[in-house]
Amino acid sequence: MDDLSLIAPPPALASLAQETERLGFAMASEPLVGTLLRVLAASKPAGRILELGTGTGIATAWILSGMSSDATLVSVDNDPKVQAVAARVLGEDQRLQLVTADGLDFLARQSPQSFDMVFADAMPGKYEGLRLSLDLVKPGGFWIGDDLLPQPSWPEGHAAKVPRLLTELANDPQFTIVPLAWGSGVVIAVRRA
C-alpha cells in the first residue's frame, strides 16, 4: 500500500518545498507526518494549536489544511530566515500567528492547558523544556513529537535523547501514548481527562 497515493497535499506545499530546497533547510517535516498532523488538527474544531519549530512552514501548511475555519495556530521558531518563507507563503491565512522567539522563553510565558494540540518539532518543547510543553495540553488534547527514528541531520548524541523522551512520556500518569515507527518516527500523547 502506498500511504500517500490517496492524499492530496496542501496547495501551498509545492511553493514551500521549492523555497525549502533553495535555502538548503534539511529539517522540514516529511509528508507522512504532515498527513497525520492534518488529521489530528481536523479533530479539534475551533481548537488552539501550537507548533514548536515553524521551519519553512511545511508542517504548518499540513496543520492549516486540517484546521477548521475557527481554529488558530501559533507557530514558533527562533530563526527568522527560515520562518520568513512560511510568512511569505502562508502569512495571509488569518488563523496563523507566526512568532519569532526562543522556544523555551515562549513556553514559559504560556498558561497551563491553553492548547488543544502541541506539535513539538524543535528541541525546545521536545528534549528541552518537555514539561513546559506538556503542561500546555488541555485534557483530551494531543502532544506530538516527531523525528524519533534516526535522521541524517541528527547532531552527535541525539540518538540517546529519544529513549529518554519516550520513557518520560510513558511514565507520565497524566498522558497515554502511542509511539509509531512510521514516517520519521512519531509519538502521540493524549492528556487524560
156-190 residue pLDDT tens: 888 899 999 999 999 999 999 999 998 899 999 99
User: Which neighbouring-strand residues pair with 188?
Assistant: 144, 178
Residue 151 has pLDDT above 90, yes or no: no
Question: Which CATH superfamily does the domain covering 29-191 fall into?
Answer: Vaccinia Virus protein VP39 (3.40.50.150)
The CA distance from 34 to 77, in Å, is: 18
Mean pLDDT confidence for 134-139: 98
pTM of the model: 0.95
Residue 3 has pLDDT above 90, yes or no: no
C-beta of residue 76 within 8 angstroms of C-beta of residue 50: yes
C-beta of residue 140 within 8 angstroms of C-beta of residue 190: yes
Residue 64 has pLDDT above 60, yes or no: yes
Mean pLDDT confidence for 116-126: 96
Mean pLDDT confidence for 9-35: 89
Residue 117 has pLDDT above 70, yes or no: yes
| Count, residues in the chain | 193
